[in-house]
Structure 1
Amino acid sequence: MKHTFVLPYFRTFVLLFLAACGGADRTPGAADADAGDHPTLSGGPPGGTLVVLADREPDELNPLTFNSNPAHQITQLVFRSLARRDTTLSDYVPNLARSWELEADSTLLIRLRDDVRWHDGVPVTAEDLVFTIERQRDVRTASPRRNDVIAVVSAEALDSFTVRVRLRQPGPYTVNALLEVVAVPKHLLDTVPAERMRFAPFSRNPVGNGLFRFAGWRAGQQVTLQANPDAPEGRPALERLVLRFVPDMNAAMTELLSGQGDLLKIPPDQRERVEGTANVEVRNAPRVRPAWIAWNTSRAPVDDVRVRRAILMGIDRDRLAEGLFGGVGEPALSPIPSSLREHSPAVQPIPFDPAGAGRLLEEAGWVDRDGDGIRDRDGRPLRLEIDYISTDQTRADVLVAIQSMLRRIGVDIVPRAYESTTWVERLRGRQFVGSLWGWGWGPGVVGPNAEAIFHSRSIPPAGPNFAGYSNPRVDALIDSVLVTFDPERRQRFWTQIEQQLINDAVYAPLYMDPELFGVSSRVRAPRFHGIEWSENVPFWHIPTERRLPRDRTG
């Protein structure tokens, strides 16, 4: 099996990407006249500042160890993965890697571009990639992305820009997972012990090699990025990108609608308000992120599958999605999104069945003995705390809604709001009973994603199976899909995995995150081919005549 891409192909990809993004639909005028004099990835004139309004800060910015969505968005811009997904989200085109080739003896040859430099001027070499792979697979690093390199036996530099990676038995997702690897600079991190990696100063002041350079982090306020004028494939048109932290959604909406911000992920109940505004447009991104409650299987009473199943049976997910999100609401009936080809329409979801939920809870010994409306056992009420990030109003509203539903079957839900850093630490340390969050599935790496979340070998500190889910049957089935090339046989394994995940209800899916964004109308080509805005903004621009005083960078 061979995948070989060359740089002219990459340039073709950029042109195709721009066509898909509607880059040719620019308004004629001064901006277009400027564009020919200043070639950029978008074709628009260089300059302008995009202000992104975020509900929280990143936890850190080390690609090996970060564990938050804001960090993922920033590192996508500051660093380079070996390859990037194309507009189908399933296939890959070159990024840091010039080409890759999987040989018959389970050896992957990766040839890097020879024209990429770290933002401090040092060339990016094969030694950086080898160092990154070794640190990422080291369990002491506690990388949430360790599963991307778990198939690696060894990695060695053959010359300055060629790496040979020896693999265990390769499978259909092995190469794609490796192409997601984001190289870090060996010359800045090789003296940092693996277990201290996420605490290194680099995590707050990263030196990348991507289309944007890190320019500063003002704690509690914003992260600023500057366009990399030396990017070999061409610089972004945007001169600067500011990720401003505005935890209050009302305040963020005010900034967006008044023109102080340019991009905001909006809750569905604000869609009509945005659509009624002349200077802001609503854009949709693909939905591949189910929101679920992860139950900590080491904590009673959710270590009992009967309790977990009863809780889902007590939640009307259709009503939840419709009530909170209106016409854009979509219930999640499986941990694996229906939009993925690995999903099976044959699986049987847990139904909304309050009476059946009551019978399960009684079977587990939970009965309302004191008549207060809440079931109890051995003198303890059936009271479950669920963590969420305090700035996420949608999650807060969801918990209020299911709190009301579950009281009807005698279960008391207690929402617990935590600042994002504390929430992440509680998740990593498995200090929670239940935690509400979402997982954005990578369509080309569904196997490694499933391994990361659902396999017992990914239980912390080895990986992000924060619920501690452990089912030997699921482990064996995941191991099988990772090495099975025959698509029909692999799909049979996926159907069994999905049904078992549904039955065990450790990761209890509630709804698909609505991926709605409010984008300033001054931004050109604001289309989304991926679920993150950061996959798209290098190809956006702000026409000269639409710029504001805050766009000045000098």
Structure 2
Amino acid sequence: MHWIPILALVVALVGCGPAQDDAPAGNEDDGASKRPRSGGTITFAINAEPPSLSPVMPSTRVSTFVMGMMHFGLVRMQADGTWGPGIAESWEWSEDGTQLTMKLRDDLKWSDGDPMDSADVVATYELVAAEDSPFPAKNLLEPLADIDAPDPGTLVFTFADRPLDPLLSAVVNPLPSHVMGDLRPAEVESWPRSRDPLTVGPFRLAEWNAGESLRLERNPHYPGRPAYFEEVIVKVVPDPGVQLLQLEAGEVDVVQSVPFGEVERLEKNDDIRLHPIEGSTMTFLLHNLTRPALQDARVRRAISFGVDRQAMVDGLLYGFGQPAASAIAPIFPSHDGSVQPDPHDPVRAAELLTEAGWVDTDGDSIRDKDGVSLSLVLLTRAGDAV
């Protein structure tokens, strides 16, 4: 596999957000008077409408983004890649590492005011783990043998064997059991609460204009620090060019994905700030091993030596990326920086093909073997520069 991790760019309109406090009379230059205060509205542009806002439905990047403001799981991934508290405020392991006991926060309520407790988690896990469950999260629960709620504030996970990363089983966001009834997996997609969810996070859904926008408002039952903004507008704007036009016109405050070719122009606009974010998005070449030629590791390695990764980063991504040697991006703690990608070496690539028996026997500049020309089909996404 040949990976090129891509650096994401978030673009924000300078001055978006809450209004500033009025300056005290006669003290216009006081720095404190210019300090932003909580409140107001922020508007994001996204490229597609979320198919659902149910935590257990298959998610897309946009649904994950929106749900991230409304939901959170038992544990949450921290900036350093470690697990931190979420709904669970603490946890401990049995000596053999096969049982996990979690203590839940006692101050959480659903956005309708009903208390959130361990029964909600158990009901959600039973739904996801059901035999007819189509949910991707089911794979995370495979190591789990049992889940029990001895009291409203306690969960006990029992694993058949000591799992490699047992807390992965704790990232499923719960559903509100008090409105689930006899909900079955096949009914979740059409369940009204999949588009009008109850939440425990800082925001709740206030309005959804299909195909156009979603409006989130502060969740009055959220026990943590109130969200900085009173409401969040998420506009569905499929065309990246239109997103930038709306940003420059002040119709949206934040655009999450910027065409790299627009960066230089946007940097000259004093009203716009670009925020590079190191991400884990990767473009890779995946070999189809049912093709006879690709069953030979020397051919696959020759392709690797033939790819000029740095030229792709520089020419296609305008330098916003880096060649990678594995599927683990540098932002993750498990990334091994000592592993390096194959260099661009056409000479070595040619040597490997010759060793594998692929040579140009008829002078047509195409290598062949046993009367068959070396021909491969590259399948890619329309509009993908890389």
TM-score range, shorter chain: 0.7 to 0.9
Structure 2 matches for 1:11-22, cutoff 5 A?
A: none
Q: Distance in 1 between matches of 2:138 and 2:338?
A: 31
Distance 1:329 1:345, change over 3 A: closer
Q: Say if 1:126 and 1:160, in contact at 8 Å, map to a contact too.
A: yes
Letter of the 1:385 counterpart: L
Q: Say if 2:214 and 2:235, in contact at 8 Å, map to a contact too.
A: yes
CA displacement at 1:62 relative to structure 2: 1.9
Q: Distance in 1 between matches of 2:241 and 2:170?
A: 39
Q: Say if 2:358 and 2:367, in contact at 8 Å, map to a contact too.
A: no
Q: Determine the structure 2 residue equivalent to 1:65.
A: 57
Q: Say if 1:141 and 1:197, in contact at 8 Å, map to a contact too.
A: no
What's the secondary structure of 1:206's corresponding residue? coil
Q: Determine the structure 1 residue equivalent to 2:135.
A: 143
Q: Determine the structure 2 residue equivalent to 1:183.
A: 174
Distance 1:124 1:350, change over 3 A: same
Structure 2 matches for 1:148-297, cutoff 5 A?
A: 148-171=140-163, 173-175=165-167, 177-189=168-180, 191-265=182-256, 266-294=258-286
Normalised TM-score (structure 2): 0.78
Number of residues of Structure 1 aligned to a counterpart in Structure 2: 355
CA displacement at 1:169 relative to structure 2: 3.4
Q: Determine the structure 2 residue equivalent to 1:110.
A: 102
Q: Give 2:379's match in structure 1, choosing from 374, 385, 388.
A: 385
Letter of the 1:273 counterpart: R
Distance 1:320 1:45, change over 3 A: same
Q: Distance in 2 between matches of 1:198 and 1:367?
A: 56
Q: Over the residues paired in the alignment, what is the CA RMSD in angstroms? A: 3.6
Structure 2 matches for 1:89-104, cutoff 5 A?
A: 89-92=81-84, 94-104=85-95
Structure 2 matches for 1:305-320, cutoff 5 A?
A: 306=297, 308-320=300-312
Q: Distance in 2 between matches of 1:44 and 1:96?
A: 30
CA displacement at 1:239 relative to structure 2: 1.7
Higher helix proportion (structure 1 or 2) = 1
Letter of the 2:166 counterpart: T
CA displacement at 1:236 relative to structure 2: 0.6
Q: Say if 2:367 and 2:374, in contact at 8 Å, map to a contact too.
A: no
Q: Distance in 2 between matches of 1:100 and 1:257?
A: 47
Letter of the 2:309 counterpart: R
Q: Distance in 2 between matches of 1:139 and 1:365?
A: 49
Letter of the 2:385 counterpart: D
CA displacement at 1:361 relative to structure 2: 6.0
Q: Deviations over 1:244-303 (max 9, x none)?
A: 122222111111122111111223332222222122211132333333244566x64697
What's the secondary structure of 1:387's corresponding residue? coil
What's the secondary structure of 1:383's corresponding residue? coil
CA displacement at 1:231 relative to structure 2: 0.8
Q: Is 2:382 the counterpart of 1:397?
A: no
CA displacement at 1:341 relative to structure 2: 3.4
Q: Distance in 2 between matches of 1:75 and 1:243?
A: 12
Q: Distance in 1 between matches of 2:23 and 2:125?
A: 43
Distance 1:324 1:386, change over 3 A: closer
Q: Distance in 1 between matches of 2:361 and 2:46?
A: 43
Unaligned stretches of 5+ residues in structure 1: 1-25, 34-42, 399-554
CA displacement at 1:322 relative to structure 2: 1.3
CA displacement at 1:359 relative to structure 2: 6.0
Q: Determine the structure 2 residue equivalent to 1:478.
A: none
CA displacement at 1:198 relative to structure 2: 4.0
Q: Distance in 1 between matches of 2:43 and 2:254?
A: 7
Letter of the 1:384 counterpart: L
Q: Is 2:34 the counterpart of 1:47?
A: no
CA displacement at 1:128 relative to structure 2: 1.0
Unaligned stretches of 5+ residues in structure 2: 1-16, 25-34
What's the secondary structure of 1:252's corresponding residue? helix
Q: Distance in 2 between matches of 1:262 and 1:202?
A: 29
Q: Distance in 2 between matches of 1:252 and 1:366?
A: 50
Q: Determine the structure 2 residue equivalent to 1:122.
A: 114
Structure 2 matches for 1:445-484, cutoff 5 A?
A: none
Q: Say if 1:65 and 1:141, in contact at 8 Å, map to a contact too.
A: no
Query: Which structure exhibits the higher relative contact order, with contacts defined as CA atoms closer than 8 Å and separated by 6 or more residues?
Result: 2
Q: Deviations over 1:116-135 (max 9, x none)?
A: 22223332121111122233
Radius of gyration: which is bigger?
2
Following TM superposition, the consecutive aligned residue runs of length 4 or more in structure 1 with deviations greater than 6 angstroms are 364-370, 372-380
Q: Distance in 2 between matches of 1:56 and 1:305?
A: 41
Q: Determine the structure 2 residue equivalent to 1:490.
A: none
Q: Determine the structure 2 residue equivalent to 1:470.
A: none
Q: Determine the structure 1 residue equivalent to 2:77.
A: 85
CA displacement at 1:225 relative to structure 2: 1.6
Q: Deviations over 1:511-540 (max 9, x none)?
A: xxxxxxxxxxxxxxxxxxxxxxxxxxxxxx
Letter of the 2:147 counterpart: A
Letter of the 1:52 counterpart: F
Q: Determine the structure 1 residue equivalent to 2:344.
A: 352
Q: Distance in 1 between matches of 2:320 and 2:200?
A: 38
